[in-house]
Amino acid sequence: MLLDGKCVLITGGTGSLGKALTKRILTKELGTPRKIIIFSRDEAKQHAMRMEYQHRRVATDEVIYHNFEEMLEFRIGDVRDYHSVASAVQGADVIFNAAALKQVPSCEYFPYEAVRTNVEGPENIVRVIRELKVPVETVVGVSTDKACKPVNVMGMTKAIQERIFLSANITCPNTRFVCVRYGNVLASRGSVIPLFHDQIRHGGPVTITTEEMTRFLLSLDDAVDVIFGALSAARRGETFIPKAPAARVLDIARALIGHRPIEVKMVGIRPGEKIHEILISEEECHRSADRGQFYSIRPILPELDVEADMKPAFQGEYSSALNLLSPQETQELLSRHALLVTDRQNGEEELLR
């Protein structure tokens, strides 16, 4: 099993993805790790996560003092700080880099802050492995569809993260660096669904940027599946892509609203926002490959591309505008992921969360 006896480091481990990744690793579907290190800079989120996994409601001294003796270990630190990363990486066999600034408007207003987390953070991981010769087996960088043909700061910085990890396969030849790239994660912090839930809860209006806008949709478990798929099968320098459904954002809003008398209001595209997201660009499609449950993008560097003659999976870009779910299919998807629930008294769809 891939993680048997391994020390796993999850940067940004208290975020939505980090928590879902931790939960899945603890099911031991990839084996029983020796240690899981949750690395983040938010002590409150770490404390809450620690309490959850120790099934405690009140903190006691041994919660802190026995931290390093537990399989699930919590470390305060910041990927922006080289020394902090160096301390966390020591002894790690597998690293999942989920630390990120990911809200598009925030990154537009504070672009250098996005650079520090999304670019300097990955570079610090690579530097530690290279300069301190830490024998890390695999690093999985978590990216986004916004990194493909980026038009916003978040996507630009995530695109650079991909290239940092890609090139690290040459400068750190004993470590395999791979990436995953996926779209909107249903109900994750900062995504559109919690925003719609809040707007509906307060009586509306539900704000839509434009009627044509589409997005890829994945659950947190789908996102973890892509990460596990890359860990299991990706070759050095590859980027794994999910075979993901896509829907119009307007259809998502209408499914969540149901029969309630709530207005849908068009407010225009936000700074740095795309109408359609792309997971594989037309420039990358000739390097795309079908890997069964996933697609992969072979590395752009010739030293790493060992499958140059493989038949491409796409002849054009892989866009969220293609093969859209119908409104009914969108509603069924949201229901399947427990984002809608039927009220027994009046038959209306009510919010679960």
For the segment 284-298, what is each residue's pLDDT rounded down to a tens digit? 999 999 999 999 999
| Of 6-10, 64-68, 228-232, 325-329, minimum mean pLDDT range | 64-68
264 part of a folded domain = no
Q: Which of 146, 243, 274, 311 is catalytic?
A: 146
Select from 21, 24, 25 the least CA-distant residue to 4.
Answer: 25
349 part of a folded domain = no
Q: Are 58 and 33 in contact (CB under 8 A)?
A: no
Q: Mind listing the pLDDT tens digit for each residue in 67-93?
A: 666 789 999 999 999 999 999 999 999
Range of the domain at 108: 7-183+219-243+279-319
Provide the pLDDT confidence category of residue 184 given band limits of 50, 70 and 90: confident
Query: What is the per-residue pLDDT for 292?
Result: 93
Whether 182 has a pLDDT exceeding 70, the answer reads yes
Looking at residues 309-322, what average pLDDT do you find? 87
Separation of alpha carbons 92 and 129, rounded Å: 10
Provide the pLDDT confidence category of residue 344 given band limits of 50, 70 and 90: very low
Q: Are 155 and 141 in contact (CB under 8 A)?
A: no
Query: What is the per-residue pLDDT for 66?
Result: 63
Provide the pLDDT confidence category of residue 191 given band limits of 50, 70 and 90: confident
Q: Are 352 and 340 in contact (CB under 8 A)?
A: yes
Looking at residues 205-219, what average pLDDT do you find? 93
Task: Mark whether 274 is an active-site residue.
Answer: no
Query: What is the per-residue pLDDT for 130?
Result: 98
For 99, counting Cβ atoms within 10 Å of its Cβ (0-12 exposed, 13-18 middle, 19+ buried), the class is: buried
340 part of a folded domain = no
Separation of alpha carbons 331 and 251, rounded Å: 8
Give CA separation, 64 vs 45, 84, 169, 311, in Å.
14, 19, 37, 54
58 part of a folded domain = yes
Provide the pLDDT confidence category of residue 341 given band limits of 50, 70 and 90: very low
212 part of a folded domain = no
Provide the pLDDT confidence category of residue 56 given band limits of 50, 70 and 90: low
Cβ–Cβ contacts within 10 Å for residue 351, how many? 16
Provide the pLDDT confidence category of residue 205 given band limits of 50, 70 and 90: very high
330 part of a folded domain = no
| CATH code of the domain covering residue 153 | 3.40.50.720
Cβ–Cβ contacts within 10 Å for residue 290, how many? 14
Tokens (6 digits) for 10: 């999850």
- Total domains, the chain: 1
Query: What is the per-residue pLDDT for 260?
Result: 93
267 part of a folded domain = no
